[in-house]
Amino acid sequence: MVKTAILGFGVVGSGVAEVLSGSGNGVSRRPDSLIEVKYILDVRKFPDSPFAPLFVDDFSTIESDPEISVVVETIGGMGAALDFTERALKAGKSVVTSNKELVATHGRRLLDLAAEHGVVYLFEASVGGGIPILRPLSECMAANDILEICGILNGTCNYIFTRMVQDGVTFQEALKGAQANGYAEQDPTADVEGYDTCRKLCILSSIAFGWHMLPEQIPTRGITEITQADEAYAAASGCRIKLLGRAVMGQDGKVTAYVEPHFVPMDNPLASVDDVFNAILLKGDATGDVMFYGKGAGKLPTASAVCADVIAAARKLERAGYRPWQANRPECVGSLDDLSSRWYVRLAHGALADAQRLIYGRVDAAERTYITNQSMTRPQMEALLADLPVLAAIRVLD
Ligand code: HSE
């Protein structure tokens, strides 16, 4: 019997407890995965929970218990989560987490620490919720050079876009729905400003390209400025707006990674990914495009990915870890200013005549919206529109 402790009894932590104890989807009923939850650590009290007898206040109880071989960190953030992760690894316990912020920022150091102590640090749930992606990327695509990652990586943003388009609700109403469903982060700024997508893209890129891509190397724009007018024009021009995390390997071996909302044409499979679903398109030099799809947030999908890692750690798989990555390589980071696209542009009223002179694309006179015919970089587009009252400029995914 492998004994585990869960740190943090929020949406994901409580889901992990349910799944591992068999009161959820029944992992514990499988004969090959005899895993017992021995402790749960949380600063809050849950006297009515069926797990109430398992709660402890002090991490040292877990750290000093030789029976605990796997610790599940679902606290989130970088404070106690980092401290407890380091202490657990140093105490010779494997750590499994859904904490993308911690992995994106300190992943390489924590992987080294785990290796030093003969245990594993696993984080399948940190990207794509319930979608199996890190292990398939590490193992099944190991023979490929990854040429591009392009993904819808935040369930909250995708849920917001879907509700705005399908139900005509405002951004704020849609965000409330995402929070009520347990999709959003504690501070939803991380979702809507794109930081959550940025962290997930760091993790994918680090595994795919073999060196630690840092959050500050990924220019990031969120979705807060998208309006129903933009959504309506996207629909009228055969596109959907999606927040994408993208990392493109250039001919020079540099990787340009960024997070931005995009106009995605309906013939691209990412356009029809709706609601809380995520999708990750990987381009391998041998495989071509491979797409992974599933629920990107929520209690049980995320708990499923955490529990799979607990099982992997518990089985002491020789290769439980993912493809390792080296230290950051600043010289391999490409500049987003060099990446060309077509652009959707929305201008304030009265700017139509000037814009027509400058942009030779499709023009919607009533809405003062445009899609440029020519691909251009953001600096080129901004220079072209310098004197015009631009309300929105969104990249089109070609
Ligand atoms: N807040 C995240 C999302 C949770 O909405 O995708 C899953 O990582």
CATH number reported for the structural domain that contains residue 56 in this entry: 3.40.50.720
- Whether the CB-CB separation of 164 and 228 falls below 8 Å is answered with yes
What is the atom index within ligand 1 of the atom nearest the CA of 128? 8
Are 290 and 307 in a shared domain? no
What is the atom index within ligand 1 of the atom nearest the CA of 188? 1
What is the atom index within ligand 1 of the atom nearest the CA of 183? 5
Are 307 and 369 in a shared domain? no
Are 147 and 270 in a shared domain? yes
Please give the model's pTM, rounded to 2 decimal places: 0.93
Q: Is 321 domain-assigned?
A: no
Q: Which domain holds residue 354?
A: 340-396
- pLDDT over threshold 80, residue 380: yes
Number of domains into which the chain is organized: 3
Q: Is 327 domain-assigned?
A: no
CA dist 377 and 388 (Å) reads 18
Are 206 and 258 in a shared domain? yes
Are 150 and 291 in a shared domain? yes
Question: Catalytic residue at 200?
Answer: yes
- pLDDT over threshold 70, residue 359: no
Please state the rounded mean pLDDT for residues 103-127: 96
Taking the centre of ligand 1 as the mean of its atom positions, its distance from the CA of residue 102, in whole angstroms, is 14
Among 217-221, 276-280, 337-341, 343-347, the range scoring the smallest mean pLDDT is 343-347
Q: Is 51 domain-assigned?
A: yes
Q: Which of 38, 93, 100, 200 is catalytic?
A: 200
Are 160 and 116 in a shared domain? no
pLDDT at 360: 47
What is the atom index within ligand 1 of the atom nearest the CA of 154? 6
Give nearest CA residue, ligand 1 atom 7: 297
Please state the rounded mean pLDDT for residues 77-97: 97
Altogether, the residues listed in the chain come to a count of: 398
pLDDT at 23: 63
Query: In the structure, what pLDDT confidence band is assigned to residue 354 with cuts at 50, 70 and 90?
Result: low
Are 352 and 231 in a shared domain? no
Among 47-61, 80-94, 274-288, 365-379, the range scoring the smallest mean pLDDT is 365-379
- Whether the CB-CB separation of 104 and 199 falls below 8 Å is answered with yes
- pLDDT over threshold 60, residue 362: no
Q: Is 329 domain-assigned?
A: no
Which stretches within the chain are classed as H helix?
A: 11-21, 59-63, 80-90, 100-116, 134-135, 155-167, 171-180, 189-192, 195-209, 228-236, 299-314, 352-358, 378-384
When the pLDDT of each residue in the chain is averaged and rounded to a whole number, the result is 91
* CATH number of the domain residue 233 falls in: 3.30.360.10
Q: Tell me the per-residue pLDDT of 186-213, one tens digit each, with 9 for 90 and over.
A: 899 999 999 999 999 999 999 999 999 9
Are 204 and 266 in a shared domain? yes
Amino acid sitting at position 30: R
Q: Is 172 domain-assigned?
A: yes
Query: What lines the ligand 1 site, CB under 6 Å?
Result: 129, 154-156, 183-185, 191, 196, 296-297
pLDDT at 309: 95
Tell me the β-bridge partners of 2: 35
Are 14 and 126 in a shared domain? yes
Q: Is 319 domain-assigned?
A: no
Are 59 and 154 in a shared domain? no
Taking the centre of ligand 1 as the mean of its atom positions, its distance from the CA of residue 298, in whole angstroms, is 8
Are 162 and 272 in a shared domain? yes
Q: Is 77 domain-assigned?
A: yes
Q: Tell me the per-residue pLDDT of 209-239, one tens digit each, with 9 for 90 and over.
A: 999 999 999 999 999 999 888 888 898 889 9
Please state the rounded mean pLDDT for residues 374-391: 88
For the stretch 160-193, what's the b/e string if a residue is b when 16 or more beta carbons lie within 10 angstroms of its beta carbon?
Answer: bbbbbbeeebebeebbbbbeebbbbbeebebbbb
- In the numeric block, the tokens 């990915």 are attached to 305
Are 272 and 390 in a shared domain? no
Domain stops at, among 265, 295, 325 = 295
Please state the rounded mean pLDDT for residues 74-87: 97
Helix (H) / strand (E) containing 280: strand 277-284
Taking the centre of ligand 1 as the mean of its atom positions, its distance from the CA of residue 349, in whole angstroms, is 37
Taking the centre of ligand 1 as the mean of its atom positions, its distance from the CA of residue 261, in whole angstroms, is 16
